Structure 1
Amino acid sequence: MTKDFVQDGIPKPQRNWAMAAISVGISVAVLDGAIANVALPTIAGDLHVNPASSIWVVNAFQLAVTISLLAFSSLGDLWGYKKVYVGGLLLFSTTSLICALSDSFWTLVIARGLQGFGAAAITSVNTALLRIIYPTRLLPRGMGTNALIIAVAAAAGPTVAAGILSVANWPWLFAINVPIGLIAFGLSAKFLPANPVKVEGQRFDVTSAILNALTFGLLISVIDGFAHDIHWYILIPGIFVMLTIGYFFIRRQLHHPFPLLPIDLMHNRIFSLSVVTSVVAFIAQMLALVSIPFFFQRVLHLSEVATGLLLTPWPLATMISAPLAGRLMSRINGGLLGGIGLAIFGLALCLLALLPAHPTHFDIIWRMVVGGIGFGTFLTPNNSTIIASAPSNRSGGASGMLGMARLLGQTIGAAIAALMFAFFPGNSMKMSLLFGAGIAIVSAIVSSFRKTTVGIYKKTK
């Protein structure tokens, strides 16, 4: 038996404090996803491992997030989003301290994996919490604010890391998370609203959680293997095992009353189109963000600092356009607005692919701004649609699918970029950007046909 939330959002004073808790928590989780990359050479030297092995400091975190995201989303629907979020913050803060105190490489890798589980718990229910924080009419505005926070954190990652490393050694990259995480924990425990369990008889499906972890863990590993040119005799058995486990996982989800992978939500055409569009958009974005730095440094012979500065207008433009798109959703259909954003984004990728042979900084900057505006204009209405098109008791599953779409898109985009480097060694950026522009524009056309409104899902099984 299902019942909906009695209250539509929470009062404004508590809402502001709740958003502060969300802002601090999601910022530290997003920052930590990229902050360690800058210090990998130093970590490898201090812990006496080779550069190839040091990648596991990053991979352990990302793999843990990928395999556990949907499981934590399901727990959010079952236990309440606040409990999962607060628990994730506590785990994240504790394991950050262990990372900072690590005196061996494998201690650090294991701690980073556990830290990834904490980050997964935080991000899995992040957008589901927005649905109970904001009234329905203001949900797009909340999604826009959330997108702004994530964009700022992602853009600030390398800068924050460089700042910390300029005055301290690498363990402080993780130690700094502890006080910030505890502040977010305190704010969340006090101000985040609790949501009751919605469906009687729902239980956490441990078997599905294991099958999910194996399926998506193997999928990400296989895609990463293609990107790093792993031999076919290793990849083919991996693909076979992945497909076999994936078959039984999907089969179990089709017959389960409360599926971990929300296949039932995929029957909603608006929801499924929005998820697929999100995957495509992140593929296109990752194609750009992987290929452009190589072009700047190897073809234009720009420094790392200049490359970073020239990439910055993209996230800055996204920071501005994402919340504005949330406000525009009250006037423009969400599907149409997302389609317009994707079309602008695809146009920007075309313009970047057609840069003159000797571009000025201004030639690059205005094109990056257009790309950021397009992506931000797409992101808010699309994310709002994914959350709003699911029934309220499945907000956790919808939030998990949103995060999974981002992870899959970024992973596939990085793999395609690697293939472009192999097939078009002298022209990889142009081909990557043109391919990204093509799929973005096709998705823009599809997105424009979605007739979406906030709160579109009227009933559930």
Structure 2
Amino acid sequence: MTAAPPPADPSAALGGVPLTQRRWVVATTTIAVVMASLDTAIANTALPTIARDLLTDAANAVWIVNVYQLAMVATLLPFASLGESIGHERVYLGGLILFTVASLACALAWSLPSLMAARMLQGVGASGIMSVNAAIVRHVYPKNLLGQGIGRTALAVGVAFALGPTVASAVLSVAHWPWLFAINVPCGVVAIAIALRTMPKTPRAEHRFDLVGGTLVAGAFALLILAIGEGAHWAHPLTVALELAAAAVLAFILIRRQAGHPAPMLPLDLFRRPMFALSAATSVCSFATQGLAFVALPFYFQEVLGRSAVDTGLLMTPWSIVVAVMAPVAGRLSDRYPVGLLGGIGLITLGLGMALLATLPADPSVADIVWRMGICGAGFGFFQSPNIRAIMSSAPPGRSGSASGMVATSRLMGQTIGAALVALCFALAGHSGSILALGLGAGFALVGSGASLLRLKAGRAA
């Protein structure tokens, strides 16, 4: 492998790095992002198999997914802040190494507690990767090509998340469930080798990392996600209320502690920028729509339409294929046209696709489903790249880490809210819950499109 040496001056990364080096950096970050995103999705498909093998029930097996998500959401903003202090490349490499080692531990797990512990570490590693990924992209691409670079990253995340169930089904058809995690190991080793040779140094902030603040952020977000999940599953109202209250108290203490800090870990300074705040809100709405779709549709295809698990994976594929086509196109367009307009068009299209899925005929053909899924994929792909570009470019270069952390946090928050609302829809509507969830997803997409179009005014005022 031949690659250009990393730039000696970290500030050189702000204007991009040489093309050859950039390609290698994009290669390592793409491998890492695909692994982290796939592992968010594939475990859902394998849960019944893992539960049977480890002699546990479904309620306990769900924690194999939950502990990964909790670990990711809780540590994203602390890692993003740490990246600003010690360098985004160090946080990325540390997260990649931990994720690879934890994947091996998952493959070797012999019991539910051992698998949950390994999954928690894997989630922390994935957080290290995802928290600084967008910041690294911002530093290796020149400003006029930033949309293109973000489009490629968005393509990797979107396709990996969408193809998760299909990949899991394919692996389980020929191998035992530990291979779902073991396949990460060689991929991780390759990504680490590339990163060690080519990853550029990024600028360091003058402030030191606030360890106590990081602990407060992690606790607040973990409790918030826990409360959302338990509320959707009809946990005792007092339990949910106590978790929400505890999250609010920790957030209040954090805000008081970091008042006047030049780079607060919970980036309230960035939320004072209308473009940043609207872009983050748009992201939560869009990923809530995606979460509603990707949790509800498998139940609809299998329980309502009577399709097999393999058929379900294939029916989900058009969404990811069209995202793969649209994300790079939208990324390039975002370098030339207002992101508020592009995002608004994308989310209106996504909302239309969700509404069309919610109104499928009683006995739809494959074609009826495929073209509707294609519309959803087109809308989501057209929105995602411009929105990430808006979040990153609306933050000062020195706050790239916090902006990158919010890219990942808003995505996971939206997906978590969407998944939780699906459970609520099933509790309220029984077998019709999947239809209700799809309709609700259309509503989220339309709210997101409104927030996106408001950015046109914010952009003119900036």
Tell me the residue number matched to 2:124.
117
Alpha-carbon distance in structure 2 between the residues aligned to 1:215 and 1:282: 21
- State the Cα deviation string for residues 115-166 of structure 1 (Å, max 9, x = none): 1111100011011100011110000001111111112222332333333333
Task: Say if 1:142 and 1:306 are closer, same or farther in 2 by CA, change over 3 A.
Answer: same
Matches within 5 A, 1:309-320: 309-320=314-325
Which residue in 2 is equivalent to 1:362? 367
- For the Cα contact (< 8 Å) 2:103–2:182, is it kept in 1? yes
Structure 2 distance, partners of 1:151, 1:126, is 14
Quick check: 1:4–1:393 contact (8 Å CA) kept in 2? no
Alignment partner of 1:390: what SS? Answer: coil
Distance across 1 between alignment mates of 2:323 and 2:237: 39
Of 40, 49, 63, 1:42 maps to 49
Partner of 2:218: 213
> Alignment partner for residue 162 of structure 2, among 135, 139, 155?
155
Is residue 2:393 matched to residue 1:388? yes
CA contact (8 A) 1:143 1:383 kept: yes
Q: Deviations over 1:95-120 (max 9, x none)?
A: 22222222232122111111111110
Write the letter of the residue equivalent to 1:434: G
Structure 2 SS opposite 1:312: helix
1:240 aligns with 2:241: no
AA matched with 1:445: G
**Post-superposition CA distance 1:228-283 (Å, at most 9, x none):** 11122322222222222222223334443321111111111100000011001111
Q: Deviations over 1:306-349 (max 9, x none)?
A: 22211111111111111110111233211111111111111111
Q: Which residue of 2 aligns with 1:56?
A: 63
Superposed counterparts of 1:136-151, under 5 Å? 136-151=143-158
Deviations 1:64-112 (A, max 9, x none): 1111111110111111111111111111111222222222321221111
Counterpart residue identity of residue 325, structure 1: A
Secondary structure of the residue aligned to 1:33 is: helix
| Paired residue type of 1:306 | D
Of 425, 428, 436 in structure 1, the residue corresponding to residue 441 of structure 2 is 436
How big is the shift at 1:34?
2.2
Q: How does 1:177-216 map to 2 (within 5 A)?
A: 177-197=184-204, 199-200=205-206, 202-216=207-221
Amino acid at match of 2:245: F
C-alpha RMSD of the superposition: 2.2
Q: State the TM-score, normalizing by the size of structure 1.
A: 0.93
The one of 246, 249, 255 equivalent to 1:250 is 255
Residue 92 (structure 2) aligned to one of 77, 85, 98? 85
Answer whether contact 2:102 2:122 (CA < 8 A) is retained.
yes
Normalized against structure 2, the TM-score is what?
A: 0.93
* Equivalent of 1:31 in 22, 28, 38: 38
Figure out how many residues of one structure are paired with residues of the other and give that number.
453
- 8 A Cα contact 2:350 2:445, kept in partner: yes
Which stretch of structure 1 is more off in the superposition, 408-417 or 49-58?
49-58
**Residue of structure 1 equivalent to 2:378:** 373
Aligned residues with identical type, % of pairs: 47
> Once the 2 structures are TM-superposed, how far is the Cα of residue 381 of structure 1 from its aligned partner?
0.4
Counterpart CA distance in 2 for 1:27 and 1:113 is 18
Identify which range, 324-333 or 205-214, moves more after superposition. 324-333
Q: 1:238 to 1:9 in 2, by over 3 A?
A: same
Structure 2 CA distance for aligned equivalents of residues 250 and 101 of structure 1: 41
Q: 1:399 aligns with which of 397, 400, 404?
A: 404
Structure 1, unaligned runs of 5 or more: none
Q: Partner amino acid for 1:361?
A: V
Confirm whether residue 72 of structure 1 aligns to residue 88 of structure 2: no
Secondary structure at the residue paired with 1:270?
helix
Q: Which residue pairs with 1:344 in the alignment?
A: 349
Name the residue aligned to 1:166.
Answer: 173
Equivalent in the alignment of 1:261: 266
Range moving further from structure 2, 323-332 or 399-408 = 323-332
Q: Give the counterpart letter for 1:5 in structure 2.
A: S
Residue 102 of structure 1 aligns to a residue in which SS?
coil
Tell me whether 430-439 or 319-328 shows the greater mean CA deviation. Answer: 430-439
41-50 or 410-419, which deviates more: 41-50
